[in-house]
Every structure is written in structure tokens, then in C-alpha cells.
Amino acid sequence: MIMDIYFLILSLFFPRIVLLVYLFLFPELYPANTVPQWGDILLGIFIARALVLIYIYQNIGADNVWFIAHIVVMILAYFGGGKETVRRRRYHTQR
């Protein structure tokens, strides 16, 4: 089954919200996976982007543009790739 294009696009920006919306409102479109239920819950709460990456890897594979796009966004999000993050760090270190 190919993953829903809306799931792939929206999960780039709002992974936790998209996981919850698809779980409750569109369960038939929720990505098929082999992650145990406790893993779904813990990863969904703490590292939702990693869970989305697992879903993409299991359904489409690692050799596609969506997997690469999600990896890039995850790296930028976790390592503070935005200007606002840099500004906040400077502000708090100067105090």
C-alpha cells in the first residue's frame, strides 16, 4: 500500500498532530507498520518524527524523496536549523 500523499506532506510540519488525526479520523489511511503498540505510543509521544520515518521506511523504502525530505527536516528540527532558535540561544546565553 502506498502511503497517503497528505500524510507525507503534513507530517513534515506537524508529525504528532498528523499521527493523531490519521489514527482517530482516518484509520484506514494510517500507515501499515510492524512497530509494537507500546512503541507506537512512546515514539508518538517523544519522537514522532522518528516514528514517521519508520513508517515511510516500512511502506515505501529508504530510496525515495520522502524519506530523504523527512530526514532533512528531522535534522533541522533537532539541531536548531531556524533563525528563531539561534536568536533565542543568543538571548539566553547573554543573560
CA distances from 56 to 47, 52, 81, 91 (A): 15, 6, 23, 37
Q: What is the pLDDT of residue 55?
A: 95
Please give the model's pTM, rounded to 2 decimal places: 0.81
Alpha helix segments (H runs only) across the chain:
5-13, 15-25, 37-46, 48-59, 65-78, 83-94
For the chain, percent of residues with pLDDT exceeding 70 = 94
Rounded to whole angstroms, how far apart are CA atoms 58 and 61? 6
Q: What is the pLDDT of residue 63?
A: 93
